[in-house]
A and B are shown apart, each in its own frame.
With several copies, the nearest count.
Chain A
Amino acid sequence: MRYLPLDTEDRRAMLDVVGAKAIDELFADVPADALNPPLDLPDHAGEFAVERQMAAMAGKNRAAGAGPFFVGAGAYRHHVPATVDHIIQRSEFLTSYTPYQPEIAQGTLQYLFEFQTQVASLTGMDVANASMYDGSTACAEAALMARRVTRRDGILMSGSLHPHYESVTRMNGGLVGGKATVSEASPDGADNVIDLISDETACVIVQTPDVFGNVVDLEPIAKAAHDKGALLVAVVTEAVSLGALKSPGEMGADIVVGEGQSIGNALNFGGPYVGLFATRQKFMRNMPGRLCGETVDAGGKRGFVLTLSTREQHIRRDKATSNICTNSGLCALAFTIHMTLLGETGLRKLATLNHEAACATADALSAIDGVELVNDAFFNEFTLRLPKDAAEVVEALAAKDILAGVPGSRLWPEDESKHNLLIVAATELTQDKDIEAFANALKEVL
């Protein structure tokens, strides 16, 4: 077997050194009736047999690049430069370990330091951690952190937060006495979240652009939250929007969490992605997750280490700020490389192209009879109200090889009032001919 260097002779000789006659002597502690159970599994297979099997499965999926594609709602199809994927596959990055031995992990540590700097700058915050699993779990961790900081239990979420983020946050943030509440928010941007802030509120969680695509002004919410001693957690699921929009930090957020997939990472059917987590300097020691810090070595040279690990589970155990022991290192690297290639100049331009593509798509689709654009202000995603169940429309368009967006029933299966909504995203990869094909097909199926 190609991954196993030992051969029969090695095994025999090594058993001799160990002083065992047969390998199962080393498994003597296993209950005898449980050892070597039958396995209803195929035997080993060569590369091309495995490739065929995997390619057959891959071939049953419609790849984003194979035709018109407008699906978003928390994951976005962007172009990833070839350089990014090349670098993250370098052995020294791909097959390295968590940088607990900093002397031989400066490569990983330095890019994490660069990542943290980029995330803090993008979000307008002071500090960021070395990444989290994804945006939704980062959101839940933000709620937990706000509870630690404020010593309050109330987790107030806007109704226009991505419902999956809401579910994750409700589950995880709501453990140990957390109380989650959700505001009434309508697809056009109206939201009563400010009215619900109380003295029990640990944090208000608001997404911008929200799940319907609305660009949200966080300033009044921040002010209202701070007036009641609560923190404002801003959620960004489309990192490219940070190139066009005022940063959550500028608008008063205390914690910014986000999904970094859009920069450097493929769609991957939902994972792995890279969670962004940034906050103010004063809350630094309350942050979950790994942190990389600058220091010097015994020779006085600048170097980087994982730091403040006394917050973490492997030191603090049941008193840790979080049980997390993994970040999303390689995805963070992809983010950092892509962001470095873009630079501020490139990111701004990329954001503009995204916005323009969405405007063009919105114009083309909302010109169709019976189709209503619900948003006034949006970035690269918007919501349409259709004259019938959007899921049916999406299926009909998929049959024409157009992936039209996310129907309301997919995100809110229990809330029928949203089932006529279709959330549509456009990016720099959206071509005029895609928009045209979408509009024509939509006319046909309505």
Chain B
Amino acid sequence: IEEALIFETGHMAATGVDLPEPKGTRSRLGGLERKGTMNLPGLAEPEAMRHFVRLSQKNYAIDMGPFPLGSCTMKHNPRLNEKMARLPGFAEIHPLQPVSTVQGALELIDTLAGWLKELTGMPAVAMSPKAGAHGELCGMVTIKAALEARGEAETRTRVLAPESAHGTNPATAAQCGFTVDAIPADDTGRVDIEAFKAKLGDDVAAIMVTNPNTCGLFERDIREMADAVHEAGGYFYCDGANFNAIVGKVKPGDLGIDAMHINLHKTFSTPHGGGGPGSGPTVLSEALAPFAPIPYVVSDADGFHLIEKRSQEEGDHHSFGRMTAFHGQMGMFVRALTYMLSHGGDGLRQAAEDAVLNANYVLARLSAEMTPAFEGTCMHEALFNDDFLKDTGVGTLDFAKAMIDEGYHPMTMYFPLVVHGAMLIEPTETESRHELDLFCDALLSLAKEAKAGKADKFKAAPVLSPRRRLDETAAARKPVLRWEPSNDESMAAE
């Protein structure tokens, strides 16, 4: 069943909201009243409900089945978190209310910050970044501020990052005015430590390393890297996207890092929501803490206070400024803390262990038909290359799209870039063994079919989804980014 756009079925007079009648007060808008139509039709409530419910039914979601997306950590989102986030005492408070009327909100931020610091072994955390990439920006801007304070901002302009890094790493570094220098990987899928050391120098501002890395492996030389970069006068930024694999098992602070963002939606179960909102608090070392963004929460015997000035009289804190208008993603903080309290320290550690166990189980089972990218065990995600598809006429993309017809969301494809035709599978700890077995059975069977020469089926896939493969090239060639009355006509004319 096709679902029209609201602009195609709505009426200009329709509204799904009943409002009291205005009193007819004289307007004081300075002569800038809006005239003419906005071309925004409305729908009555029953129509709107049905429109969005029907739309929703065209989506795949974690509540429907596994989302084996490497690097994305699609885990179960507890509804208790949603319920807590909707308590009026959290949802209906304003960021600029008097501090005396939001003591519970500040307590929550402070408590969450405390958990994050304990779990990472770091002394400070900037809570306001709005998402992972924003947390990276926060970390790199903090590093830049620290370099400025040292008078080295002009000279330290190079950032080292592994070839396998997430795209956000180079993008963030570039946004801060750094040049990015790629570190090659060794043949075990980790940073080539000698190549890395060779690149160090007094123009290096920082290294940016993901750990566990994007090949799903723990950087076993991480302390050596930290020592080396510190010795060279640079900072160690760690991309925390894969923190889910080690939370409670290792404290990044024990490994020598200076800054790391934490994706609350990956490790602490706040919902992805179809692409946001995220939340990316960034933990900071003693060296970087003085430059953290405002606002932040402090407490004393009188209660909780907000620091909203860049420079405080007492102490040497000199913030670089604001990451965002207010206090960060409070709604996500509530969800994440609810999740942490539910799991506790013991549960978080168990979750990391189960995430790693699940990934290794999948790695072991799938190795029967698919080719692991590296030898040995993995952390929380299993990486395969496309060797097993060689000469089958089936590509990584085709293989992934065929999974849709089996009822699964595809895994991450073609990432990390260092592996040919990469397929990165992260089951997470919230999949049961039963569900993993069904998933592995389906993939093994697909792999056999590919090898048996059924390339046509793969090329045609998916066929059971609400849409078949979409023409992304056409979309980009002549972008249509909004509905206009003429769209319909031109579509009809074609």
Contact A45 B43 (CB under 8 A): no
Kindly list chain B residues whose C-beta atoms are within 8 Å of the C-beta of A95: 61-63, 74, 77, 271-272
User: Is the C-beta of B337 less than 8 angstroms from some C-beta in chain A?
Assistant: yes
Contact A82 B78 (CB under 8 A): yes
B297 smallest CB distance to A (angstroms):
12
Kindly list chain A residues whose C-beta atoms are within 8 Å of the C-beta of B173: 318
B148 smallest CB distance to A (angstroms):
12
Given known A110-B5, A323-B133, A340-B42, contact A5–B343 (CB-CB < 8 A): no
CA distance A47 to B88 in the complex (A): 17
Contact A58 B104 (CB under 8 A): yes
CA distance A204 to B149 in the complex (A): 30
A307 smallest CB distance to B (angstroms):
4
A67 smallest CB distance to B (angstroms):
10
Given known A39-B118, A117-B483, A360-B25, contact A414–B309 (CB-CB < 8 A): yes
Kindly list chain B residues whose C-beta atoms are within 8 Å of the C-beta of A273: 277
What 0/1 pattern do residues 52 to 76 of A give for CB contact below 8 A with B?
Answer: 0111111111111110010101110
Contact B88 A244 (CB under 8 A): no
User: Is the C-beta of A162 less than 8 angstroms from some C-beta in chain B?
Assistant: yes
User: Is the C-beta of B454 less than 8 angstroms from some C-beta in chain A?
Assistant: no
User: Is the C-beta of A183 less than 8 angstroms from some C-beta in chain B?
Assistant: no
* Nearest opposing residue in chain A for B341, CB measure: A50
Contact A349 B277 (CB under 8 A): no
Contact A107 B46 (CB under 8 A): no
User: Is the C-beta of A4 less than 8 angstroms from some C-beta in chain B?
Assistant: yes
CA distance A45 to B410 in the complex (A): 34
What 0/1 pattern do residues 142 to 175 of B give for CB contact below 8 A with A?
Answer: 0010000000000000000000001110111111
Contact B430 A45 (CB under 8 A): no
Given known A171-B320, A328-B276, A344-B12, contact A116–B482 (CB-CB < 8 A): yes
* Nearest opposing residue in chain B for A178, CB measure: B177
What 0/1 pattern do residues 9 to 24 of A give for CB contact below 8 A with B?
Answer: 1110111011110010
| Most central of B94, B172, B360, B466 by chain A CB within 10 Å | B94
Determine which of B254, B360, B469 lies in contact with A298 in the assembled complex, contact meaning CB atoms within 8 Å: B469
User: Is the C-beta of A234 less than 8 angstroms from some C-beta in chain B?
Assistant: no
Q: Which of B184-234 contact A (CB under 8 A)?
A: 217-220, 222-223
Kindly list chain B residues whose C-beta atoms are within 8 Å of the C-beta of A18: 357, 360-361, 363-364, 377
User: Is the C-beta of B246 less than 8 angstroms from some C-beta in chain A?
Assistant: yes
User: Is the C-beta of B418 less than 8 angstroms from some C-beta in chain A?
Assistant: no
A24 smallest CB distance to B (angstroms):
8
Determine which of A47, A101, A215 lies in contact with B404 in the assembled complex, contact meaning CB atoms within 8 Å: A101
A34 smallest CB distance to B (angstroms):
4
User: Is the C-beta of B347 less than 8 angstroms from some C-beta in chain A?
Assistant: yes
| Most central of B101, B334, B466 by chain A CB within 10 Å | B101
CA distance A313 to B136 in the complex (A): 13
Given known A44-B342, A344-B38, contact A1–B465 (CB-CB < 8 A): no
B403 smallest CB distance to A (angstroms):
9
Contact A1 B347 (CB under 8 A): yes
Kindly list chain A residues whose C-beta atoms are within 8 Å of the C-beta of B130: 133-134, 137, 271-272, 326
Contact A307 B475 (CB under 8 A): yes
Contact B52 A111 (CB under 8 A): yes
User: Is the C-beta of A445 less than 8 angstroms from some C-beta in chain B?
Assistant: no
Contact B404 A104 (CB under 8 A): yes
What 0/1 pattern do residues 241 to 271 of A give for CB contact below 8 A with B?
Answer: 0111111000000000001000000111111
Given known A136-B324, A175-B141, contact A329–B251 (CB-CB < 8 A): no
Determine which of B82, B93, B176 lies in contact with A62 in the assembled complex, contact meaning CB atoms within 8 Å: B93
Which of the segments A86-94, A222-230, A436-444 contacts the partner chain? A86-94
B73 smallest CB distance to A (angstroms):
10
User: Is the C-beta of A150 less than 8 angstroms from some C-beta in chain B?
Assistant: no
Kindly list chain A residues whose C-beta atoms are within 8 Å of the C-beta of B348: 39, 41
Which of the segments B28-36, B384-392, B442-450 contacts the partner chain? B28-36
User: Is the C-beta of A367 less than 8 angstroms from some C-beta in chain B?
Assistant: no
Please give the number of chain A residues whose Cβ is less than 8 angstroms from any Cβ of chain B in the complex: 213
Kindly list chain B residues whose C-beta atoms are within 8 Å of the C-beta of A291: 479, 481
CA distance A46 to B10 in the complex (A): 21
User: Is the C-beta of A108 less than 8 angstroms from some C-beta in chain B?
Assistant: yes
User: Is the C-beta of A282 less than 8 angstroms from some C-beta in chain B?
Assistant: no
Determine which of A47, A176, A269, A356 lies in contact with B176 in the assembled complex, contact meaning CB atoms within 8 Å: A176
CA distance A359 to B62 in the complex (A): 43
Kindly list chain A residues whose C-beta atoms are within 8 Å of the C-beta of B86: 85
Given known A55-B87, A353-B19, contact A71–B97 (CB-CB < 8 A): yes
Kindly list chain B residues whose C-beta atoms are within 8 Å of the C-beta of A368: none
User: Is the C-beta of B365 less than 8 angstroms from some C-beta in chain A?
Assistant: yes
Determine which of B76, B91, B346 lies in contact with A44 in the assembled complex, contact meaning CB atoms within 8 Å: B346
User: Is the C-beta of A192 less than 8 angstroms from some C-beta in chain B?
Assistant: no
Contact B82 A89 (CB under 8 A): yes
CA distance A108 to B275 in the complex (A): 9
CA distance A63 to B482 in the complex (A): 38
CA distance A69 to B474 in the complex (A): 50
Contact A106 B347 (CB under 8 A): no
* Nearest opposing residue in chain B for A296, CB measure: B471
Contact A305 B470 (CB under 8 A): yes
Q: Which of B436-478 contact A (CB under 8 A)?
A: 460, 462, 465-472, 474-476
Kindly list chain A residues whose C-beta atoms are within 8 Å of the C-beta of B69: 97
Determine which of A23, A37, A217, A305 lies in contact with B32 in the assembled complex, contact meaning CB atoms within 8 Å: A217
Contact B344 A44 (CB under 8 A): yes
Contact B13 A104 (CB under 8 A): no
Q: Can you pick out 18 interface pairs between chain A and chain B where the beta carbons lie within 8 Å of each other?
A: A3-B269, A4-B44, A19-B364, A33-B254, A34-B255, A39-B348, A57-B108, A58-B89, A81-B45, A95-B61, A104-B466, A133-B134, A215-B30, A267-B91, A272-B330, A313-B172, A343-B42, A346-B17
Other A-B pairs beyond A3-B76, A47-B80, 17, CB < 8 Å: A11-B354, A50-B338, A74-B326, A87-B49, A92-B63, A103-B401, A103-B404, A106-B58, A108-B59, A244-B34, A268-B330, A270-B326, A294-B475, A330-B271, A330-B273, A350-B17, A403-B101
